Amino acid sequence: MPTPTPERWEQDYGRYERFLRPEIKKTQQGLSFVKDGVHTWWVANSARPHAQLDTTTRIADATRLPGNWRSLANRVVVHIDSFSVAEQKFYRKATVHDLPGTVTLNITNQKFSLQADEPKAKRLTRNYALVGQRYLLLFGALRAAGSVAQVGLDTEGRLVLHTCSVTERKVPGRYLTYQTVLHQSIFTR
């Protein structure tokens, strides 16, 4: 988690920059706009969110990734850090929402296939590449148009998969807010 000192947020945010390989950076596209004086920047598929979980998990041996996996947990974590300039006050809030159902994941040497147990859920099948032991790049025809998940194996051998979006909102001189929405799935064989 970033420090509760907003002056250090950019430094904390940049701490994971060294993990971003060029092929991952190419997928990082943000949208920015200003409305009613609020400057907003949004990245729907962030490889380097403001708040991160399980930052030490990696997949050092790519041969451990292929196989059939079943979800043990699916949840959404919403993390918000805010700073009021006028009050010089820091606020932090995190909420966790468990998601019902089971997700199955089949990974071969070339394909990533995900299926939720919901009646109308479609199977997601993509090519994939494990990049830098930390990122799973899912793609169709073009890698640069792919999506990125943070991935790793925990000490119990469970597969931890995170997809994140990030929104920064600020009114210069008044406040700054970072919101990370992290979708976490934990799988076992």
What's the per-residue H, E or C state across 85-154?
Answer: CCCCEEEEEEEEEECCCCEEEEECCCEEEEEECCCCCCCEEEEEEEECCCEEEEECCCHHHCEEEEEEEC
Strand partners, 71: 187
Averaged pLDDT score across all residues of the chain: 86
CB 105 within 8 A of CB 114: yes
pLDDT of residue 105: 95
Per-residue pLDDT tens digits for 126-158: 999 999 898 999 998 777 778 888 999 999 999
Domain boundaries, the chain: 6-188
Q: Residues 7-32: what's their mean pLDDT?
A: 72
**Higher-scoring residue by pLDDT: 28, 6:** 28
**Higher-scoring residue by pLDDT: 117, 8:** 117
Give 33-52 as a DSSP string. EEETTEEEEEESS-SS-SS-
**Higher-scoring residue by pLDDT: 134, 8:** 134
Q: Residues 3-20: what's their mean pLDDT?
A: 64
pLDDT band at 161 (very low <50, low <70, confident <90, very high): very high
Give yes or no for residue 167 having a pLDDT over 90.
Answer: yes
46 residue type, one letter: S
3-class DSSP assignment, residue 54: coil
